């Protein structure tokens, strides 16, 4: 069974640029959630995708957008990057979007915005 994978591992961008982060969910999982974890803080929920549809969104501006593909992998896109977007971006997959189902996290993508 393959776990959650994310790419790239690290990324450096400059202010105003755009970035795309990728996540492959665990085998058999149809739900992917994205989180932003700033240094010294807990993960903050960005949005969740279930069967290719957005299924809930946290307090993030529209320049944070996403996609889920038929194989349930997912992308997080961030436009017009700001310095405060520097963080560890985590994706988590689960077998169902219900609150009881365990989420399994990937290792994250470390984004640095200069």
Q: Residue numbers of the site for another protein (CB under 8 A)?
A: 4, 31, 33, 35, 40-45, 48, 55-56, 58, 90, 92, 94, 96-108, 110
66 or 106: whose CB is closer to another protein? 106
Helix (H) and strand (E) counts for the chain?
Answer: 0, 11
Is 93 within 8 Å of 26 (Cβ atoms)? Answer: yes
The encoded tokens of residue 56 equal 């809930």
The tokens for 6 are 């994310």
Q: How far is the CB of 79 from another protein (least distance, A)?
A: 23
Beta bridge partners of 45: 35
Question: Least distance to another protein from the beta carbon of 33, Å?
Answer: 7
CA distance 79 to 21: 12
Nearer to another protein, 25 or 33 (CB): 33
Closest distance between another protein and the C-beta of residue 109, in Å? 10
Q: Which is nearer to another protein, 32 or 81 (CB)?
A: 32
Pick 69 or 105: Cβ nearer another protein? 105
Tracing tokens 């996609």 back to the chain, one arrives at 67
Supply 26's token pair.
């665990």
In angstroms, give the least distance from the CB of 16 to another protein. Answer: 27
């Amino acid at each position: 069974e393959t776990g959650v994978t994310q790419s790239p591992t690290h990324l450096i961008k400059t202010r105003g640029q755009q970035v795309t982060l990728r996540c492959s969910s665990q085998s058999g999982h149809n739900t992917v959630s994205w989180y932003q974890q700033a240094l010294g803080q807990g993960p903050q929920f960005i949005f969740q995708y279930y069967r290719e549809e957005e299924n809930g969104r946290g307090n993030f501006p529209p320049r944070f957008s996403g996609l889920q593909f038929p194989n349930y992998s997912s992308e997080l896109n961030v436009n017009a990057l700001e310095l405060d977007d520097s963080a560890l971006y985590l994706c988590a997959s689960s077998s169902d979007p219900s609150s009881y189902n365990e989420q399994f996290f990937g290792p994250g993508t470390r984004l640095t915005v200069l």
